[in-house]
Every structure is written in C-alpha cells, then in structure tokens.
Chains A and B, each alone.
Chain A
Amino acid sequence: MEKTPQFFRNGPGPFARLFVFALLSFALIAEDTRFNYFPQLRQTIGVLIHPLQKIAYFPVVVYDQLEAFIASFYLLEENAKLRQLYWDRREQLLKLEALEAENFHLRRLLGAAQEIQANSKTTTVLAEILSSPRDPFNHKITINKGSFHGIQLGQAVIDDQGIIGQVTRLYPWSSEVTLLTDKDHSVPVQVVRNGLRSIVSGSGKNNELELRYLSINTDIQRGDLLVTSGIGGIYPPGIPVAIVEKIEQDPAGDFALIISMPVAGVERNRQVLVLSLVQSELNESSEVPAIEPGEN
C-alpha cells in the first residue's frame, strides 16, 4: 500500500476534478438548452426532490391554517360579502350569456366561421405555486399539480386578473409553468380598443412584455388593454394579458418599441387556475381545412 503513488491514494487533484465536472456541466447545459435528449433526467430528479419541496412548503400550509382559524371568527361576515359578490357576478354572467347568444346569431347571419366555443368547454384545475423563481433571470414557476391531476403540456395558467403563463414541463405531482415574461414566450393578443391583432413576447425582465414588429404609425396608445386573441389555440380568447405602458417611436427605425406590463402577477397570489382546453382546441384547429357536412 505504501508504494502506491500519491495520485492514486488521493485521486486526481481538485483542479482535475473541477475540470471533469465543468465538462459534465457544460454537456448538461448544452443538453438542456439545445438537444433535450434525456427529459427523464429532470423528471427523475424532480420526483426525488418532490418530498423536500413539500417540506419546504409546509410553513405556508401552517400559515394558511392559522389564517383560516382566525378567519373562522368572521365567517358570517365573509359569507354575506361573498353572497353579495355572487349575485353581482351572477347578474353579469346572465348578461354575458345573452350577449354570447346574440353574438352567435349575428355571426351566423354574417356567415362567419364559427368561433371556438372556448368559454363553455374549459374545465379548470386549481393549483398552488410551490416555488417561484429565485434568480431574476429565471421566469418559471412550479405548481403543485401534475400529470396525476390531469394537467397536460401547453395548458394555459391564469390567476384572477389574467394570464400568467403556460405549462411547459410535467412531473407526476407537480408541473413547471413558463411565465409570460420569459424571453422565449409569446402570446397572440388583440387590443381591446380597436381589435388590432399582434403577438406579445416576454422581454426576459420582470414585469415587462414587448410588442414587437409594430410599425411606428400603428394605432396603439398608452393604457390599451391587450387580451388573448385565441389565435393559435393555446389560450382561450378574451383573457387579459397586459396593459401598454410605454411607447417609444424611434423615427429612424421601422418598428416602434412598445413595452407593456402584465396584468397578472405570480407574486400577488398563491392560487392559480390551470385551464384545460388544449386538447379539444388543437383537434378543432387541425380540422379547420376539412369541410364539415352540416355547415352551410
């Protein structure tokens, strides 16, 4: 044993180790950002750390219980308030139903193509945010519902104000949501004021979305509300996305720089709704070229 050279007793030196692991890391980074050959790797680690995430979530659960306990003293008051809210909303809903029917008839009169009946088909899953990004350049969150709860890839995630993002990776008991602000994320939108259609993309910065490739004389104003247009079939139409915040019209460039602010925010609520209409819509949109026998 004494004759073993130093190298074999202690193994390679720290720099050699760092070099090996750095190479391994670079290979993984390339794999994760470019090739994505082994999605199972992330899945496996995700399942491994799930109990830890659950434990880390425990303080939030305790806080909720405490809050619920304190709130239970004000149940009657809250009940009355919610009942009031229910009737207010109910009235709006009835109006909406009437409008929807009217809209449907008018569309039929015009002979326009049937719009996707998204509102009536969506089913929702209530989920809670397990972890929100730690780094400022990370625009993804984890929610506590996964493929076991019927979540599917590509589903839209909203909160009570508007769109938050889209499910991009599935684990058995949790899933990953890419936020609107992610630089690779785009949503087809429509300006409520004049029906102008465009695509809003994440800028990679917090609370900032960009409307790209709109010419400088486009009719768009500060404070315009952008809602989903429903084109593309991922997002149901008519859900608020962002409000135009800043317009810079550089006469030298071809396009205006339009910055908007998302209406929904992950830092505000912990509860989110996962809308499941992707499957039916994708089927419908793939059937668009085929002429249905009942039509016309």
Chain B
Amino acid sequence: MEQDMYVPASSWFIAISLVVALILNFLQLPERIAFLRPDFVALLIAYWSINHPERMSMSVAFGMGLMMDVGNVSILGQHALAYCVAMYLTIVFGRRLRLFSALQQAPQIGLVLFIMQVVIVLIAVSTGASLVDWQFFLAAVSGSIVWVPMSLLLTLLLQPKPDPDAL
C-alpha cells in the first residue's frame, strides 16, 4: 500500500468511476436489502480525496450530490452537503489515512459515512421528516466493508498503467 511510486490517475478514469458509482446507487434493489446498500458515490469520493486529493475538487462532490438528490427524489442540496462534509473529513484526515492499509482504513471510512448519514438525517428532520430507524445507519457499516475490496480493486486498476511519456 506504499504510495512511494506516485501513479497519477487520469481525469477520465475518475469520471468513469464516479458515473459507475452513481449507477450502482440508482440500481433497483428489493426492499429487504435496499437499506444495506452502501453509498458508492461517497465511497468513491472518499477514495479519490484520500489517494489523489489534487484530482478531486469539492465542486465535483457537490455536483455528484445534486445528481444523487434528483435521482433519489430527495431535497435538492441534501446529498450535496453530505458529500461535501464527507470529502472535507477525508481530506483533513487523508494524509494520516494514506499511511494505513485498506483494511485499517475501513473503520475510519465507516465513521466518515456515519457522519455523512447524520448530516442527511439532520437535513431531513429539519425539513419536517420523522426520525429514522437505527437500521438506516447499517449502510455505513456495509460501506466500510465494501471499502476494502473497492480500494484494492481501484489501486489494482491504477497500478499497471505504464506512462507513455516516461523515459
């Protein structure tokens, strides 16, 4: 997991990964397991802002949040703010997180996702929704479980790219 050899990720790769995450978030799942689905967009935003912070800007997180809000028919700005908060947390703790392995990062990512969900609930409650069941927060746990294979896969996809401009 050492990042001694710095591998730049192309903007296209990041964009495609975010679009795939958005599609995964839009997938229709049966009611019984839908609440367990992790927020893939948030995971991707966290991954990019930990590993390639210069490639990720908060406006991207904000834009992804807006798309999530429209796709999910929630209040416009709800996910946008939540993703910005998630990105802020991962940027602030990113330097420390980068030193850990994916497995060690998982619980901390879970905490970030949990705080993000708290933001979502707070916005919903402040606009008049009733409080949610505790099961809602299981998505943070499943998110931290998904984090490990996901970040390993992304690192693997980034690694073998030979730089054509290299000497």
Instruction: State the A residues within 8 Å of B (CB).
Output: 14-15, 17-18, 21-22, 24-29, 31-33, 41-42, 45-46, 48-49, 52-53, 55-57, 59-60, 129-138, 140-142, 176, 183, 203-205, 267
In chain B between 12 and 54, which residues have their CB closer than 8 angstroms to a CB of chain A?
19, 22-28, 30-31, 34-35, 37
* Given A21-B58, A204-B129, A48-B84 contact (CB < 8 Å): no
Since A131-B73, A141-B73 are in contact, a sample of 12 more A-B pairs with Cβ atoms closer than 8 Å, ordered by chain A residue number, is A18-B88, A28-B66, A33-B127, A49-B26, A49-B70, A52-B71, A60-B28, A131-B72, A136-B132, A137-B129, A138-B73, A204-B130
Of all chain B residues, the one with the shortest Cβ separation from A38 is B76
Chosen A-B contacts, 6 in total, with CB atoms closer than 8 Å, are: A21-B80, A28-B66, A29-B77, A48-B67, A204-B128, A267-B30
Distance between A136 CB and nearest chain B CB, rounded to angstroms: 5
* From A32, A57, A176, A203, contact of B75 by CB (8 A): A32
With the chains together, A46 CA to B66 CA distance in Å?
Answer: 10
A29 with B76: CB separation less than 8 A? yes
Of all chain A residues, the one with the shortest Cβ separation from B132 is A136
Most chain A CB within 10 A, of B75, B92, B128, is at B75
A183 with B22: CB separation less than 8 A? no
Of all chain B residues, the one with the shortest Cβ separation from A10 is B54
Which B residues are in CB contact (< 8 Å) with A27? 77
Instruction: State the B residues within 8 Å of A (CB).
Output: 19, 22-28, 30-31, 34-35, 37, 58-59, 61-62, 65-67, 69-78, 80-81, 84-85, 87-88, 91-92, 120-121, 123-125, 127-130, 132-133, 136
* Given A17-B58, A137-B124, A45-B66 contact (CB < 8 Å): yes
With the chains together, A41 CA to B76 CA distance in Å?
Answer: 10
* From A22, A138, A140, contact of B81 by CB (8 A): A22
Which B residues are in CB contact (< 8 Å) with A56? 23-24, 26-28
* Given A136-B133, A137-B129, A205-B130, A18-B84 contact (CB < 8 Å): yes
Most chain A CB within 10 A, of B71, B72, B125, B127, is at B71
Of all chain A residues, the one with the shortest Cβ separation from B58 is A17
A267 with B62: CB separation less than 8 A? no
A131 with B35: CB separation less than 8 A? no
Which A residues are in CB contact (< 8 Å) with B62? 21, 24-25
